[in-house]
Amino acid sequence: MLDPWIDTYAERTHGLTVSAVRALFSVANRPEVVSLAGGMPNIADLPREAIGEAMASLIRERGTQAMQYGSGQGEPFMRERITEVMAEEAISAHPDDIVVSCGSQQALDLVTRVFCDPGDVILAEAPSYVGAIGTFRAYQVQIVHVAMDEFGIIPEALREAMAACKAAGRRVKFLYTIPNFQNPTGVTQTLQRRRELIEIAHETDLLIVEDNPYGLLTIEGEPTPALRSMEDERVIYLGSFSKTFAPGFRVGWALAPHGVREKLTLAQESATLAPPVFSQFAISTYLDTFDWRGQIQVYRDMYRDRRDAMLRGLTENMPQGSTWTHPTGGFFVWLTLPEGLDSQSMLPRAVSARVAYVPGTAFYADGMGSRNMRLSFCFPTPERIIEGTRRLGEVLRDELDTLHTFGIGTGEHLYRDITSGPAPDIT
Amino acid sequence: MSSDLGTIVVLAGGLSHERDVSLRSGRRVAQALRDRGHHVVESDVNASLADLLTSTDDPVVFPVLHGGDGEDGSLRQVLDLFGVPYVGSTGPASRRAFDKSIATALLDVPTPEQVALPNSVFRELGAKALVEAVTERLGLPLMVKPSRSGSALGCTKVTSTAGLPGAMVAAYAYGEMAVLERFIEGTEVAVSVVDVGDGPRALPAVEIRPRSGVYDYTARYTAGETRFICPAELSDEVAAGCAEIALRVHEQLGLRDLSRTDIVVGADGPVFIETNVSPGMTETSLLPLGAEAEGEDFGELCVALVRQAYRRGPSDLKE
């Protein structure tokens, strides 16, 4: 009676429900709240006047092309420029092997669409990017998490997962991994681990989907070579301008072996006819006329200040028993709470205290992660980040106090067994 | 525009845990009023509200705030201070109704046995003995709720003593006070009361049948997750009993214009669970469904409520 189509929806929509956790986030956008929840890049310092001028002349001079339909694979000039961007990470690629997408999120959707039937298995780090889990679920894929530590995916765990799936007669379609400054943990795979991953891929006939939105945002130490720079037959590489320039244009890409690229192009044509043409013109204009490498350096310095504020704030404010990761780039820190605390059930308390985070359970397909939370340092200023960690510290102490009152947290687990959690736990 | 009602300010959002629901309710009310030709301004509750109220020509407020400041009466007192007329109950009446521990104690209708305990009591007296006393006195299963929250947030049905501490922690995540009450097994219904100038009248009871069996947040706000039967499949006698409870609650708490009372029809007849001075107005909310079952147009009802508030003018600070 309220929704006459309720019996008509496809089975894959059944997981699409509103939730109390999602609802709590609606408060996070209010200025009173320090949101350590969002993954929004800070683009306030882009040279907007000058970009505006460049866009105006783009429309004046090339508007009839820029506002027209375009190529399903993406505009040739855009794909050329994308190869230059990837060269920054030592990836050598041909523009023909690139498919432009509506953000790298859509590239992931296309890859899943062309590879996965319902019931297929995708391997992903434990934990993994919540948006990827959502996409995989929409294709009714089974997600099998592979344990990771502070050096990235554990090779032995990957071998075991492959063997277990094989023994169960399940087809693993690919491994989805974010090797740099992983979302949500901030962990970076070491070079050694990357080599081992590729080795296992060869051994077990495994395809790797390398999602690398933060790759150019190294804020400490030297960048690690991309998997795709070491292996081109077994790696589909996903890239994006969302973090190195701005996300509103929705331009990302997939770099894939030629057979896959053909399929992705056809899938892209049926999905969108062509990825956003105006956005590709706009981004090319930006790359042509602005010092984009300099801008990335500006971003790095800004995010380094914010990361430092986050780490300092956590050191000052987290109660004993908390541990967190030390990201060398990207946007996120992964916090592991003292035993007994549950990040999801604590969220309303945090919202009342005007601080927001993403509960760790969002990043697992199997209900793990209740003892973790993702904290992002990309959007609030360093001062606000410090204030956010101060509020969060109070929330944790109040919650611990309540748990203590009710005799919870002294080895007795309230919600579910969280000790077997494979989440990284790094001091 | 037939703006014989001045400028209608629909207030929605706020900083409560139910902000999202409030925004949905607010959009629906604002659109319904606009569709009928009225001049509507939508506003969040923030630092610019005072400016908005003082700079708006001939304002009348329709508060659609759920939880926190919106329902505990504080915002309504602010409206009184500014001398702005508004739809719904006064500040003091809202405060009585919003706090489950206060409302239940004031009422002369069947209510579940209840205790209301702040977090500090457990901290100071020790939880173990209290938890045992509660389960012994009220029996199982129990409902544990934050005393000042809505949309079933922080509510847990407890079926064993072992589950009680966890439920308490979940409730205290929403506030310092929790209520524990005997769980009444039965049919869940909601009866809305509206009064557009001709006295309070009860709308038909809406029966709630969540697919999952639990009318939690997801079941409330995902279209299709709950079946609503309206009017509820109740005997005439029981339906009249439910209406009677809703009307008495409206009257006994001194509510005004609109309210929604949640009732469970158990083995011994209808029992009051809680009441809301700012009922949800979303597509899946119960007051609009009740109005629809009565053959009443939702938009016309909103207009009538605003008209009544407009005619009444500002409220006294003291009720």
Within-domain flag for B129: yes
CA distance B34 to A385: 41
Within-domain flag for B317: no
Q: A–B: how many Cβ contacts below 8 A?
A: 97
B260 part of the active site? yes
Structural contact between residues A335 and A322, judged by C-beta atoms closer than 8 angstroms:
yes
CA distance A324 to B261: 46
B274 part of the active site? yes
Q: Is the pLDDT of residue B73 over 50?
A: yes
Q: Do both B211 and B254 map to the same domain?
A: yes
Who has greater pLDDT, B18 or A384?
A: A384
Å between A378 CA and nearest CA of chain B: 23
B113 part of the active site? no
CB contact (8 A) between residue A406 and residue B222: no
| Cα-based angle A339, A340, A342 (whole degrees, multiple of 5) | 110
Q: Do both B194 and B258 map to the same domain?
A: yes
Within-domain flag for B1: no
Task: Summarize pLDDT for B125-167 with one digit per residue, the tens.
Answer: 888 888 888 889 999 999 999 988 777 788 889 999 888 988 9
Q: Do both B164 and B17 map to the same domain?
A: no
Question: What would the mean pLDDT of B265-279 be, rounded to a whole number?
Answer: 94
Range of the domain at B16: 7-88+306-312
Q: Do both B153 and B234 map to the same domain?
A: no
Strands A152-153 and A172-177: unpaired
Catalytic one of B172, B174, B215, B221: B221
C-alpha torsion A241→A243→A247→A251, nearest 10: 20
Q: Do both B64 and B15 map to the same domain?
A: yes
Å between A345 CA and nearest CA of chain B: 6
What is the number of domains present in chain B? 3
Q: Do both B170 and B30 map to the same domain?
A: no
Percent above pLDDT 70 for chain B:
98
Within-domain flag for B300: no
Q: Do both B12 and B137 map to the same domain?
A: no
- Using CA coordinates, name the residue in chain B closest to A17: B222
- Using CA coordinates, name the residue in chain B closest to A22: B20
| Residue from the list A27, A348, A415 with its beta carbon closest to the beta carbon of B173 | A348
Q: Do both B264 and B274 map to the same domain?
A: yes
CATH of the domain at B161: 3.30.1490.20
Rounded to 5 degrees, φ, ψ at B182 are: -60, 135
pLDDT at A411: 44
pLDDT at B122: 87
Within-domain flag for B39: yes
Q: Do both B192 and B287 map to the same domain?
A: yes
Q: At B38, is the pLDDT very low, low, confident or very high (cuts 50, 70, 90)?
A: very high
Q: Do both B145 and B284 map to the same domain?
A: no
pLDDT at B3: 62
Q: Best interface-test mutation with A: which of B169, B207, B217, B228 has the largest number of A CBs within 10 A?
A: B169
Q: Do both B212 and B290 map to the same domain?
A: yes
Whether ipTM exceeds 0.90: no
Within-domain flag for B284: yes
Within-domain flag for B252: yes
CATH of the domain at B19: 3.40.50.20
Q: Do both B62 and B136 map to the same domain?
A: no
Query: Around Cβ A213, how many Cβ atoms within 10 Å?
Result: 27
pLDDT at B318: 67
pLDDT at B132: 87
Q: Is the pLDDT of residue B183 over 70?
A: yes
Task: Summarize pLDDT for B222-244 with one digit per residue, the tens.
Answer: 777 888 899 999 999 999 999 99
Low-confidence ranges of chain A (pLDDT < 50): 1, 410-427
Within-domain flag for B172: yes
B154 part of the active site? no
pLDDT at B77: 92
pLDDT at A193: 98
Q: At B261, is the pLDDT very low, low, confident or very high (cuts 50, 70, 90)?
A: very high
CA distance A181 to A128: 12
Catalytic one of B13, B18, B80, B148: B18
CATH of the domain at B103: 3.30.470.20
CB contact (8 A) between residue B19 and residue A26: yes
Rounded to 5 degrees, φ, ψ at B229 are: -115, 120
